Amino acid sequence: MTTVLLVGVGAVGTRAARQLVDTLGVDRLLLADRDTDRAERVADALGERAAAIAYASGDPIPGGVDAVACAVATGEDHDIVAAALAQQVAAASCDDDHDAIDALRSLDPNARAGGVTVAAGCGLAPGLTDVLAKHAAGMFDAVDEVRVARTGWAGPASVAAVRHERRAFVRAWHDGTWREEHPHGETLVWFPEPIGAQDCRMVTGGTALLVDAMDVPRACTLLGEPPKRTWLRRRFGDDGEWGAARVDVWGRGEDGHGCVVYGVVERTAVAAGAVLAVTAAHLAGALEPRFDRPGVHGLGSLVDPAPFLAELAQRGVRAAVFEGVPVG
């Protein structure tokens, strides 16, 4: 019996729970949240394959769990993942904060020693964008630069993470070394419609996960404030915050230098929840192939892009080539 423990049933966690309970290979879904009543309500809504349990960050992982998925507030995933490593249980986290990702990456020696796979940054960006960057890189003989841009948020915890990240110290990967950046104001980034042009600011974000996954001389991440809801509500209805991501990859191939641009528009919580759920299902062995690469990795290092993107497309999260102008 394949069992997944999902910790956190907020905006992203609830979407991930729906995806996991609809995955045929997942026999049992355990839900935990600081708000136990909310966990019980979600479990009741999902049916007999889901159950709410009492679990707090740092507690031992319940017996019989094949993988743990974390959709908790920034930084809370570290103790959960550490507990999973102690019991040799694979884990995935959707935390997109730079400091939180670095804290998870510090667990890499423990994960390798225990033969356990940990997937970090399993959301819209980082996460889906890392997979898109890896897919685009396959079209070139050599990659010169990767730029990732994202706008939108998933819920209150995501709002706080975005605001913190946009105020934090900034580093970018430049010519094979980390370089402190002093960005001046915002950069206008064109996302696929209906999001359109949004002001974005350079952040550190999940750039390190891209660098780990790809042999790229330059990489950076841009993060914007979420799109205004007034006109989006008129067009799409009041069903969560809409966001977008854009990935620009420059490289060299048989036809010389070129640029591939991918874009995705989706409710941020829906996209992040789907990515987290699919990753956790692969870690648990509910989807083939089972992710089995000991250590702490981003999705760009773990997944084969084409089948992973196809699985997300079947679940309604689709990316496409963006016919536009490269970022910056």
Does residue 318 sit within a domain? no
pLDDT for 235: 43
For residues 302 and 260, state if they share a domain: no
Task: Using the 3D structure, point to which of 268, 297, 320 is the last residue of a domain.
Answer: 268
* pLDDT tens digits, 181-223: 876 678 999 998 888 999 999 999 999 999 999 989 999 999 9
Mean pLDDT for the stretch of residues 155-182: 83
pLDDT for 58: 85
Mean pLDDT for the stretch of residues 47-51: 97
pLDDT for 156: 73
For residues 118 and 21, state if they share a domain: yes
| Helices 268-284 and 305-314: angle between axes, nearest 10 degrees | 120
For residues 137 and 262, state if they share a domain: yes
pLDDT band for position 323 (50/70/90)? low
What is the count of structural domains for the chain? 2
Mean pLDDT for the stretch of residues 281-305: 97
**DSSP letter at 45?**
H
Looking at the chain, the whole-number percentage of residues with pLDDT higher than 90 is: 77
For residues 139 and 262, state if they share a domain: yes
Domain that holds residue 93: 3-122+272-307
Residue 174 has pLDDT above 70, yes or no: yes
For residues 195 and 64, state if they share a domain: no
Question: What CATH number has the domain bearing residue 33?
Answer: 3.40.50.720
Measured CA to CA, the distance from residue 122 to residue 272 in angstroms comes to 7
Does residue 201 sit within a domain? yes
Does residue 324 sit within a domain? no
Measured CA to CA, the distance from residue 177 to residue 156 in angstroms comes to 34
Residue 314 has pLDDT above 90, yes or no: yes
- Give the closest residue to 213 by CA, choosing from 293, 149, 156: 293
Question: What CATH number has the domain bearing residue 241?
Answer: 3.30.360.10
Residue 114 has pLDDT above 50, yes or no: yes
Does residue 74 sit within a domain? yes
Mean pLDDT for the stretch of residues 174-179: 92
How does strand 67-70 pair with strand 90-93?
parallel
The SS3 call for residue 60 is coil
For residues 189 and 169, state if they share a domain: yes
Measured CA to CA, the distance from residue 84 to residue 4 in angstroms comes to 12
Measured CA to CA, the distance from residue 216 to residue 117 in angstroms comes to 24
pTM above 0.75, yes or no: yes
